[in-house]
Chain A
């Protein structure tokens, strides 16, 4: 029986992973026809050439400013993550409660930049804005992961304790020490993410790296951009050196002093924001009398926003993120052999490691910002940015997984044969689960890239804020959050099915 016959007959069973992948690829291909992927800038090559030239001639204009930017980037990251660790841990202990789980899902499904945009209206350009913008979503993220890690701890030591040991003792003597290494390594990974988030917050005006990057970039000082970026990579690449047990207290205690002063909080503005600005317009303007009238106005208001802004925003977010997801997967599958010991010798893997570190430490928002300047506003730069950052991250995780595999001694000699017949099939299930975990992240980032001008949900949020219609902005942010929660639930279902 030939392969074609077998495939058509009932003998052939597609594996769940292959079916899922084919499904995703088909959806992405359909999206390609709808998506706007054109290069609209007049001469992208000339600009790219200037950028490349700048990258090879890094120079610092004012080193004191740069030092300040780096310090405040670190300070926001540390202070925000420290708050989130405390909050997340307390929430993790209550994670069995459905309300807490829902609350965590909601706060982590709203992107840091959206939180920053909300708090900007509330506190203004005050350090608290940046601090809470990191601390709140990260608390939700930590709560879920900490709860998962604590749930996986062996139960036996806790059962062996004397019966009246009590909750706190059980936690301190058994569960926490057993979970400790996992908690530490996850927190350290998240700290790296926190540094990226903190850098990005500069794009909305906080005094972190993004602020300086944007101003250098918009003035065309590409050699400054290059210097700032290289310092940023250096900071992340040397994390193991400066992040030690004995430096931690210094970093955490010192960070509040480097957040900058910002502007004083105008409490009147803060109060107006919650008492007036975010109340839906029809309710705010109506007189106390016509209750039914205002209710129908409210539904009219909500449906107008849904039809004109939320639906197109959701549609574009979905189209863009599905394309980005599949391109991300392709990038990861292309990149992971570069760091696999089954493909290259130790010195041969160094360029791969360098490439992957740079690609995964560059935040997608920053990449998208740069590419949008070069290629003009369309979905193309956003897809490339998402694929480079996330592809490098998943490529790194898959490559590391492939290095743990013990392969048989009669391996095929050629690298390509080894890749397709040994490595790819063996790492594919874990690759797929990395991708499914990343799906929600890609969706959240896609929404946020709208702030840069692609018409995803973030675009409509940003325009509502610029029109000082915070009620509309908040409704759209909640819509984006619900979309993320839905995707997260869907991806977990698929994971169970595979």
Chain B
């Protein structure tokens, strides 16, 4: 069963054609990792997947898309804005409901952010901000995750913890990474992009770190 699909698409960043023609089929239940040099079109591909399938996807964009002046709690809550009425959302904006805070807190605990629940995002370090964006995606609980370099600002063990959490919460995921070793550990299927084309599409267990080095 396929979850997301693209047929012969040409993708552009601004007026500049980056990818194409691309055909991609993401099957439900698989974790797909995108590899490639920076600027090769990973973000363009992820954004295209997102705009085509908004309803089913949670997105972690590369620039995180957090609202700096709002608290960590509010930023995480934003993952579920569409579930509640505009009035409920407004009341929660002014005065967070205890029940919602109780839902968000365990996520923040798993990401080591529970102390920061009511701090504004602007006060946090880059790594902490990235984990807030992860928490928002986890809270959204969509069937599919689209994540663009979700652990780029985290150190080794922390990055592994976050990758494990993402794998555990999302049955299906498309994640772009720049760390080949981590890609092989967490991905079931690896796709490499080079010169505007998908040049490699293999199950992870058939690949080794050295065989992927040429894509970096």
Given contacts A408-B63, A410-B61, A416 and B70 within 8 Å (CB-CB): no
Given contacts A2-B98, A3-B98, A409 and B118 within 8 Å (CB-CB): no
CB distance from B76 to the nearest CB of A (A): 11
From B137, which residue of chain A is reached at the shortest CB distance? A410
A288 at the interface (CB under 8 A from B): no
Question: Which chain B residues lie closer than 8 Å to A428 at the CB level?
Answer: 69
B67 at the interface (CB under 8 A from A): yes
Given contacts A3-B98, A414-B81, A417-B89, A408 and B70 within 8 Å (CB-CB): no
Contact between A6 and B117, CB atoms less than 8 A apart = yes
Given contacts A6-B117, A11-B115, A413-B82, A421 and B93 within 8 Å (CB-CB): yes
Contact between B59 and A410, CB atoms less than 8 A apart = yes
A13 at the interface (CB under 8 A from B): yes
A469 at the interface (CB under 8 A from B): no
Contact between B51 and A409, CB atoms less than 8 A apart = yes
Contact between A11 and B93, CB atoms less than 8 A apart = no
8 Å CB interface, B88-134 against A: 89-90, 93, 95-98, 101-102, 105, 115, 117-120, 123
Known: A416-B86, A420-B90. 15 other contacts (CB 8 A): A2-B101, A3-B73, A11-B118, A11-B119, A13-B119, A13-B123, A15-B69, A407-B65, A408-B63, A412-B82, A414-B81, A414-B86, A421-B78, A421-B81, A426-B67
Chain A: interface residue total (CB-CB under 8 A): 27
Q: List 27 A-B contacts (CB under 8 A).
A: A1-B105, A1-B117, A2-B101, A3-B73, A4-B98, A6-B118, A11-B115, A11-B118, A13-B119, A408-B61, A408-B65, A409-B47, A410-B61, A412-B82, A414-B86, A414-B89, A416-B86, A416-B89, A416-B90, A417-B86, A417-B89, A420-B89, A421-B67, A421-B74, A425-B69, A426-B67, A426-B68
8 Å CB interface, A102-151 against B: none
A12 at the interface (CB under 8 A from B): yes
Residues of B contacting A: mostly: helix
Question: Which chain B residues lie closer than 8 Å to A420 at the CB level?
Answer: 89-90, 93
Question: Which chain A residues lie closer than 8 Å to B73 at the CB level?
Answer: 3
8 Å CB interface, A394-436 against B: 407-410, 412-414, 416-417, 420-422, 425-426, 428-429
A359 to B118, CA, bound (A): 39
Contact between A409 and B61, CB atoms less than 8 A apart = yes
A429 to B90, CA, bound (A): 20
Contact between A410 and B86, CB atoms less than 8 A apart = no
B170 at the interface (CB under 8 A from A): no
Question: Which chain B residues lie closer than 8 Å to A6 at the CB level?
Answer: 117-118
B50 at the interface (CB under 8 A from A): yes
Question: Which chain A residues lie closer than 8 Å to B37 at the CB level?
Answer: none
Question: Which chain A residues lie closer than 8 Å to B61 at the CB level?
Answer: 408-410
Contact between B118 and A12, CB atoms less than 8 A apart = yes
Contact between B50 and A410, CB atoms less than 8 A apart = yes
B54 at the interface (CB under 8 A from A): yes
Question: Which chain B residues lie closer than 8 Å to A2 at the CB level?
Answer: 98, 101-102
Contact between B69 and A417, CB atoms less than 8 A apart = no
Cβ contact of A410, chosen from B54, B68, B89, B119, cutoff 8 A = B54
8 Å CB interface, A1-60 against B: 1-4, 6-7, 11-13, 15, 17
Contact between A425 and B47, CB atoms less than 8 A apart = no
Question: Which chain A residues lie closer than 8 Å to B123 at the CB level?
Answer: 13
From B120, which residue of chain A is reached at the shortest CB distance? A15
Contact between A412 and B69, CB atoms less than 8 A apart = no
Closest 5 CB pairs of A and B: A408-B65, A416-B86, A3-B96, A425-B69, A2-B98
Contact between B50 and A409, CB atoms less than 8 A apart = yes
A13 to B120, CA, bound (A): 8
CB distance from B104 to the nearest CB of A (A): 11
Question: Which chain B residues lie closer than 8 Å to A408 at the CB level?
Answer: 59, 61, 63, 65
